[in-house]
Amino acid sequence: MSPPYPVEILTLFPGMVSGYLGASILGKAQEKGLLATTLTDIREFAEGKHRVTDDAPYGGGAGMVMKPEPLVAAIEAAKARHPGARVLLMSPRGPTFTQATARELVRHEAGLILVCGRYEGVDERVMAHLDGELSLGDFVLTGGELAAMTVVDAVARLVPGVLGNVDSSVTESFEEGLLEHPQYTRPPVFRGAEVPAVLQSGDHARIARWRRWKALVLTQERRPDLYARLELSKADQKLLARREEEL
């Protein structure tokens, strides 16, 4: 059996993260020995009675900045525990995290060290101790904890054995640059809305065509930016030329 995929999160607020990491799929993955998460409180590396981790910015301005001493000490300690792990700061300056990024990160078997920023940001001198930065998108969060949890969740799902169904991670949204097809379960009729007859037909080839057609149509309608980057096969082009009842 392969060793667990290691992730360490450096944060000023470990209590914000611990509950999420211990629940549902992530909790089960750790119980199975497929994922190993460590939470480190950056304050443990701050000196003085009050364990101060922030200070006013040079040059003036609003807010506070995370100090380099405790943060770099925390990073160095994490590197010692996880040699070769990628060290990434959750930051709006980084490239946007995508499913492709998750696939790339899970292939790095030495694991991840995710640094959660706070306040107005971190001292720029910390950047020399990182492998990069990572952003969830063009918006601002109070801190990096939510971003770090998102990264761990997306990456962990790709660790072999974490998902009960081996096909789940392959058929989900964005794996092929497409949105996922609609999903239904029992009852067959809910408040007058029926499950499409094709999904109840038992005809697996027809069901596969319908799901592919729906994924293409949904992506075209709702994410034209993704659709524009698709390289449609001849089979896809034929599907799109048909009406739903012709599938």
Q: Is 116 helix (H, G, I), strand (E, B) or coil?
A: strand
- Is residue 171 one of the residues assigned to a domain? no
Farthest-apart Cα atoms in the chain, separation: 73
pLDDT bracket for residue 169 (50, 70, 90): low
Alpha carbon 58 to its chain's center = 34
Mean pLDDT of 158-175: 72
- Is residue 174 one of the residues assigned to a domain? no
CATH number at residue 150: 3.40.1280.10
Where among 137, 158, 179 does a domain terminate? Answer: 158
Same domain, 12 and 54: yes
Work out how many domains the chain is built from and give that number: 2
Q: Binding site residues, as ranges?
A: 117, 136-141
Same domain, 134 and 84: yes
Report pLDDT for 247: 87
Q: How much of the chain exceeds pLDDT 70, in percent?
A: 96
Q: Binding site residues for S-adenosyl-L-methionine, as ranges?
A: 117, 136-141
| Average of per-residue pLDDT values in the chain | 94
Pairing of strands 112-116, 86-90: parallel
| Range of the structural domain that residue 242 is part of | 189-246
Same domain, 35 and 118: yes
Report which DSSP code applies to 5: E
Name the nearest CA neighbour of 7 among 242, 29, 143: 29
Same domain, 197 and 151: no
pLDDT bracket for residue 79 (50, 70, 90): very high
- Is residue 90 one of the residues assigned to a domain? yes
Q: What is the distance between the alpha carbons of residues 148 and 9, in angstroms, rounded to a whole number?
A: 7
Instruction: Give the number of other CB atoms < 10 A from CB of residue 53.
Output: 22
The residues near 173 (Cβ < 8 Å, ≥ 6 apart) are 99, 179, 180
Report pLDDT for 172: 56
Report pLDDT for 246: 86
Q: Where are the beta strands (DSSP E) in 12-166?
A: 35-41, 54-55, 65-66, 86-90, 112-116, 132-134
Pairing of strands 189-190, 54-55: unpaired
Mean pLDDT of 105-116: 98
pLDDT tens sequence across 219-240: 999 999 999 999 999 999 999 9
Q: How much of the chain exceeds pLDDT 90, in percent?
A: 89
User: Whole-model pTM above 0.75?
Assistant: yes
